Every structure is written in C-alpha cells, then in structure tokens.
Structure 1
C-alpha cells in the first residue's frame, strides 16, 4: 500500500559524491557496464513517483548514467501506472523498466509473458544484498522478476513526546501495555489515538499488523491468497483484538469523527500546535507529513515505537514487520536494461535518495549512516532486523478487494470502525467481497 498515500514531499536534497563508495565497489561500474561501455544506449523507465520523489529518483539514475554512459529517461505515471503500462504493452511500446508497488501487478505482467526474468548476475546481486523475503516478494512461479529498491516500514506507532511525557507514560512495548496506556490516557482527558478512517487503506494496515502477530506468517500468506476464508476464526480473533482500541473513547473525535479523518489530518491531529490526540499509527512516511504540515520536529517532538508485540512477554519485541515497497521490473532483457536492474539492487543505488530524505532501502548492506537522522536509521534498523517480514496484504489482493475506495476490504473495515462490536458481520462481508474479487 506504499502508493495508496501517493507522492510525498522530500526534504532538502543533498548531492552525494561518487567517491563515497568508489565506482567499482558495491556493484558499481565494473558490474554495470562501466567506463562508458553503455554510451549511446537509452533506457526508458516508467514509475509512480512525481514531484520531489521523482527528483530524488532522477538523482539516483544520474549516478548510473555517470558510471556507464547510458542515458535514462524517466516518465511519471502516478497511481494509474498499471493501467498505463497495460496500454503501452498492448501498443507494443513498453518501457525497458517499470517501478511497481503491487506484487499482484508484477505477477499479472509476468504470467502474461511480457516481463523478463532477471539475468543471473542481477539475481546474484539480490542474493548478496537483500533478505530472502525481498527476493520472494519479487518472485513469480519460481523466477525472479522484481528487484525491490524502495521500502516502507508499516509497523510503527508515532507519538507526541510532550503529551506522553506530561502524562507520565513510556512508549508501550506489548499490546497489553498499549491497551492499558490508551485507556489510562483517555481517563485523563487526552484522546489517545488519531485514526484515519476516511482512508480505508490505513485500516488495512492496522488489521495486517494485528493479524500477522496473532495468526502468524503462514496464515497471513494463506489469507493474502484467499486460501483460507475471511470468516476463519483467526480473522475474527484479530478483529476482536483490534476492537480493543477501536473504541469511541479512545479515538479522537470518536469513531464517527475518525471516519471523516483522512491520513494527513490524522497526523496533524497529533502534531499540531494544539494536538487533539497523543498517538497515530502508520508507516515511516508519517515523518514527511509532520515535516511538511506541522512545526513539530521529527525525532524530538515526534517520536515512534514499534507496533506493540501481541502475546509476547514484556521486553520481547514482536520481531514482525509489515512492509510495502517499490520494485523494478524489466520488459526487455538487453544489456543496458539488466545493467540498470543490477545497479538498483546494489547498496550504493539507494544512498543518493537516502541522503535526500523520504526513503528507506530494503538493501541490508546500504550503510545506516546514509540516512541523515537517527530516527530514520532506527526505523530502517527495525525493518531490516525483523525476524518475520510480510508484504502489505491488501497490495497482494485484487484491486477491487484491496485497493478500491468505498469498496471491498477498505469499506468493510470502515464499517467495522463504525461498529467494532460487529465482528461476525464484518468477517462475513470481508469473505463475500473477497470471494467476488478472487473469483472463488
């Protein structure tokens, strides 16, 4: 669901000199056709990023151009990218490479036979620098197509440090402590949570974090593929756990008000000069909204803690992270195309964007000091160190179920927020909508 929020502002660009890693290190020029070997070659790339995100990515591409002599043209397609790509494929003019956020779209294009599996040297680069989970996310029917370049950590709770400190609370590590904390805060007159119920995708992220921890990774994968029904007891149990915090007294402006609150507004409710809530759950990109829309200082006024561990002893982190991300896929398999794919899998590729801000890399060998602040480093470290990492479930679903405003999972979970007592009815509606979307 990394693209459901859309493009976000990237703060102050800082240019990184190529000498930081050296052109032959970390998959540099010698592995990407260096010394101008690709001079005269043009590579067309289509992606979702526009505005400041596009500028940051073009800085990354400029590093590759300087190393290889190739020219890379980038076209922004926005959130309609899968549709744009389908038209280009049908017209016989696909780009060399596309950046896709949805594993479902990668699988669709791969099974249509229009994507090219990566070459052996690209796969070796992925094996060397990525955790196995990221390779699995980009693999379809045993072949690697997607090289993940940008990631999102979606297992984060952000909090207003002043409000929590004044109330005498420490960031809770376990779900039980989290529930106790939000209820205690409510009793003192502080609204504990801002919930962006108007944007159904945020509710899917709430559910996915709870479900991963309560049902486990194997069940999570099966539910993502609709191999178990949404009426399964594991789904109902997750809804019951979520029900504990989806209570009117715990949510700023009550549940009805939350259903009128969009994502950006949920963040400003916590970090404005006159905050209306103490905490908001969402991914690392909350930091960009804080920086762009409030006077709060990320890492000082605005801090985070990992999504609370459910069913684990105190002091034991959950070890589970729900993630999203953007992967490069190739519609052509010529030398220049695969050279860029290999570069994007290298540790040095993400450094330029990391220095600019608004970026997390799934590459375990990109130095953490590439990030410009301690908070982003901590968020990246939590994601990279997770024992159990799973891709956003709604991004794996057919769009009519997992990515459509006012329909499917988004609408069903909005109805649940409006009436959290209706666990059975919610599960039944989710299953009915999933069955239609998955054609089962």
Structure 2
C-alpha cells in the first residue's frame, strides 16, 4: 500500500498576472512561473528567497485536498506557517477518508481542489488523463532535481511531462525485532539474507518462532504479503526487472517472479519459522496486520517484516529505539549486484490550477525548507521524507531517522510499492486475493497464473 501527494502547476512566464481565487482550473501547462506582482511579505528573509518570485499573495487562498487526517493533520497545517509568512497566502486544508474515490468524482464534476496529495502513481495517471492537472512550474522541477532522486521524479511524471513532486514517504523494506533479545542471544543485525536465515534457524533451535506475520486487513486482506513479494523481486531480480514486472512487460507468472515468491515462501510458509505467538502458517491470513508484530514484545517471535509506519502500532509506552523494546533493520538483499533496493510509498502533490499562490505553495512543499519545517512540526515522530535536504537531526523518532538515512543512502535504489502502480483489478484485487490463497495452501504457480490471467486486456 502506499501514500503521499503531488503538486502540479504551469504558468505563463515571469510576467506578472492577476491572481484570483476562482479556482476554475486551467493554465498553459508549459512549466512557466506566474507572479501576482508586488513585493512578497517575506522578502529578504532567507527562508522566503525562492517564494519572492511569486509576489505579494496577501488575501489569496490555496485549497488542499488529502487523505491525511487527524492526528497527523495538525502537523501538516502547522508546517505551512512559513509559507503564509513569506507570501501572505493562506491554506484551506480538507482531509477525507474517501479521498481516492471523491477526488475523481470532484475532478469530473469540475470541482477539483487547487492541490491534491495523491498517494498512488496510478491515481495520479488517472487524474492526469482527465486533462485537468497542470504541469509543475520550473521551480518545483528544479527542487525535485536537487533534493530527490530520478526515480522519485519519474513517479510524478506522466507521458514525459512532470506534474507532481514527492511529499512524505515511508520505507517498507524493514524488519522489526527486539534489540534486547538479539543482545541477550549474541545475535547481530544481519547484513545478508543468508545471515537472516541463519539467525532464524538459531531461534528455532532455542524454541522460538523466528517470524510472526499478519495479513488480515478487511477488504484489503493480503496486501502485506504483496509487499513481501515486491521486496523479494527487487532483491533477486533487480530494479529493471521489477519495473518491467510492475508494468506487465514481464508476465506476472514469469519464472523470476516465481523464484522470488518461493524465496518468501521459505519464510512465510515454513512451519518451523511461523507464526510466532499466533498459531500455524494459516493463522497469518486471519491475524490483523496491526497485530502482526506484537508477539515480539513477549518474546514469542523474533522478527516481523513491516513498513516504517508500523511504529504507530506498538502499544503506548513502547520504547521504539535502537536500544529499546523494539526497532527495525533494513531487509537484507540476496544479490549484491542489485545494489541496496528500498521498497516504499509516499504522496505526490498534484495541482489543478496555476494561479501564483498555487504555484508558490507547490514550490514550498517541494523545497528543503518545508521538509525541515514539517519535521519540526512533528515532535512526536511518525513522518519522514525522501528529500535529501531534510536535516535528520530535525527528526525526533529513531525509526524516522533510520528511514531518512535509508532514503539518503547513496547506494539506495528506491522503487514505489508495485501494487499501487498496477491496474486496480490486480493491485487492489487479484494480487491481494491470491497472496491470501497462497498463504493458506495455494501453490506458487497457481497463484501467479491466476493473477496473470486477471490482468486487464487494455
């Protein structure tokens, strides 16, 4: 599963143009910059330098539509203060738990917001196809070139045109564990997949189930298992093969995918390895993903593969730190030739209007200034960005710091969650369903064949 948002804007050039609050969309879409003219309220301040070009935006408002809800919403809104101080513009924030569905409805009805934080590249492509999303202005493109990798910019690009800059991000390639358990038993964080299996075998020998897992998630049951497979494909076959597989240039039931799923099966379908604290292999399908890793706290299992956002699932009072009750390590690779693959998710900022205030807000959100303001506005932790201008010292949570370090590692090869890029019939349908069936006994060949046959013809 994935998350985040993308802003996209265009303009008519550096010449001043009138700013209005009509929100009627449109724009030249050429990546130019629009200015309201006048002197920006924050002119002369270092943090406002890039925003001065948009002029005095006092009295204007930018509407933002997102799936980011309380309690996270407050930190988002607090992080916009510098933008308002620099430009004079205000931000009207609207969160919705029906975001994915309602955004498309609003766009079709001609009621699109100025900005939407879009959590899936596939949804971005859908709204871009409506013709209402405008290209990002040049300052946004420049910021993404400076602070993000090419892979991130690619996810905000559709048909060769750049629309949406990354916002927040999450690392999925993590394994949660108990630092105390590892220390007491003389185990060190594994650097290779084989090392990880060796530790697993040592746990078995000591009467501990090395792995616990849960993939139950209501109508989305199965999605954690898709993450397992995506991580395995990245490690076994590399990023290029992964891209071809996600785009269906390689069949879903290709032998390379089958090998990767069998690699996962060596853990998740191994009766000796799972399901610590819950039962047998079949219990993985009925264990809520929120509960999947909790047996680690009782010493009933040793490891749990889940994303950085799982930090929020530990009970209140749990010390989530390198020397605490629980922490995470990078899921080791199986093939050094494939670099350091990192599976993750995030939001992208898409714009439906190119008024100066909208372009200015896009520019702010794509900058290192905003990334650090957002970190400071989130003292409780639970947020990170792949923006390399983010000062890791501004993050308060150890797991957030580890995530940022993972993103900023020069050897990291980032790839977005595969199911979030696939057609919904597969990524949010057969892929989830068949991974659940696979856990409960279906063969690798049958599961992958069924997914392949479900891929839409066009």
Q: Structure 1 length as normaliser, TM-score?
A: 0.88
Alignment counterpart, residue 257 of structure 1, candidates 280, 283, 293: 283
Give, in whole Å, the separation in 2 of the partners of 1:283 and 1:204.
12
Contact 2:318–2:326 (8 Å) recurs in 1: no
Contact 1:174–1:312 (8 Å) recurs in 2: no
Alignment counterpart, residue 453 of structure 2, candidates 429, 432, 435: 432
Return closer, same or farther for 1:360/1:233 CA change in 2, 3 Å cut-off. same
Return closer, same or farther for 1:381/1:295 CA change in 2, 3 Å cut-off. closer
Alignment counterpart, residue 298 of structure 1, candidates 321, 332, 338: 321
Return closer, same or farther for 1:335/1:287 CA change in 2, 3 Å cut-off. same
Alignment counterpart, residue 65 of structure 2, candidates 46, 51, 63: 46
Give, in whole Å, the separation in 2 of the partners of 1:161 and 1:38.
51
Please say if 1:367 is aligned against 2:391. Answer: yes
Return closer, same or farther for 1:362/1:3 CA change in 2, 3 Å cut-off. closer
Query: In structure 1, the residue corresponding to 2:343 is in which secondary structure?
Result: strand
Please name the residue that 2:114 is paired with: 96
Please say if 1:338 is aligned against 2:359. Answer: yes
Deviation at residue 36 of structure 1 after TM alignment: 7.6
Please say if 1:179 is aligned against 2:203. Answer: no
Contact 1:239–1:423 (8 Å) recurs in 2: yes
Contact 2:3–2:118 (8 Å) recurs in 1: no
Query: What pairs up with 1:203-352 in 2 under 5 angstroms?
Result: 203-246=225-268, 247-251=270-274, 252=276, 253-271=279-297, 274-290=298-314, 292-293=315-316, 295-299=318-322, 300-312=324-336, 318-352=339-373
Query: What pairs up with 1:374-385 in 2 under 5 angstroms?
Result: 374-385=398-409
Deviation at residue 217 of structure 1 after TM alignment: 1.0
Contact 1:167–1:185 (8 Å) recurs in 2: no
Give, in whole Å, the separation in 2 of the partners of 1:125 and 1:350.
12
Give, in whole Å, the separation in 1 of the partners of 2:294 and 2:398.
22
Return closer, same or farther for 1:241/1:23 CA change in 2, 3 Å cut-off. farther
Query: In structure 1, the residue corresponding to 2:383 is in which secondary structure?
Result: coil
Deviation at residue 270 of structure 1 after TM alignment: 1.8
Q: Render the CA deviation track for 1:286-306: whole Å, top value 9, x for unaligned.
A: 22222x445344332212211
More helix by share: 1
Alignment counterpart, residue 166 of structure 1, candidates 184, 187, 201: 184
- Where do 5+ consecutive residues of structure 2 fail to align? 5-42
Query: In structure 1, the residue corresponding to 2:267 is in which secondary structure?
Result: coil
Q: Rg larger in 1 or in 2? A: 2
Give, in whole Å, the separation in 1 of the partners of 2:134 and 2:55.
25
Please name the residue that 1:70 is paired with: 89
Query: What pairs up with 1:141-156 in 2 under 5 angstroms?
Result: 141-156=159-174
Give, in whole Å, the separation in 2 of the partners of 1:24 and 1:111.
39
Deviation at residue 381 of structure 1 after TM alignment: 1.0
Q: Structure 2 length as normaliser, TM-score?
A: 0.84
Give, in whole Å, the separation in 2 of the partners of 1:63 and 1:359.
19
Q: Render the CA deviation track for 1:323-379: whole Å, top value 9, x for unaligned.
A: 110111001111111100000010111223323121111111121111124442222
Give aligned pairs, total.
408
Give, in whole Å, the separation in 1 of the partners of 2:355 and 2:55.
16
Please name the residue that 1:394 is paired with: 419
Give, in whole Å, the separation in 2 of the partners of 1:193 and 1:23.
56
Deviation at residue 99 of structure 1 after TM alignment: 0.1
Deviation at residue 34 of structure 1 after TM alignment: 7.7
Aligned-residue RMSD, C-alpha: 2.2
Please name the residue that 2:2 is paired with: 2
Contact 2:114–2:352 (8 Å) recurs in 1: yes
Query: In structure 2, the residue corresponding to 1:245 is in which secondary structure?
Result: helix
Deviation at residue 212 of structure 1 after TM alignment: 0.6
Query: What pairs up with 1:16-55 in 2 under 5 angstroms?
Result: 24-25=45-46, 28-33=47-52, 37-55=56-74
Contact 1:34–1:67 (8 Å) recurs in 2: no
Return closer, same or farther for 1:368/1:47 CA change in 2, 3 Å cut-off. same
My pick for the range that moved more, 43-52 or 407-416, is 407-416
Contact 1:287–1:298 (8 Å) recurs in 2: no
Contact 1:179–1:244 (8 Å) recurs in 2: no
Please name the residue that 2:439 is paired with: 417
Give, in whole Å, the separation in 2 of the partners of 1:202 and 1:229.
21
Please name the residue that 2:28 is paired with: none
Deviation at residue 129 of structure 1 after TM alignment: 1.6
Contact 1:34–1:68 (8 Å) recurs in 2: no
Return closer, same or farther for 1:35/1:231 CA change in 2, 3 Å cut-off. closer
Query: In structure 1, the residue corresponding to 2:293 is in which secondary structure?
Result: helix
Query: In structure 2, the residue corresponding to 1:248 is in which secondary structure?
Result: coil
Please name the residue that 2:154 is paired with: 136
- Where do 5+ consecutive residues of structure 1 fail to align? 5-21
Give, in whole Å, the separation in 2 of the partners of 1:262 and 1:3.
20
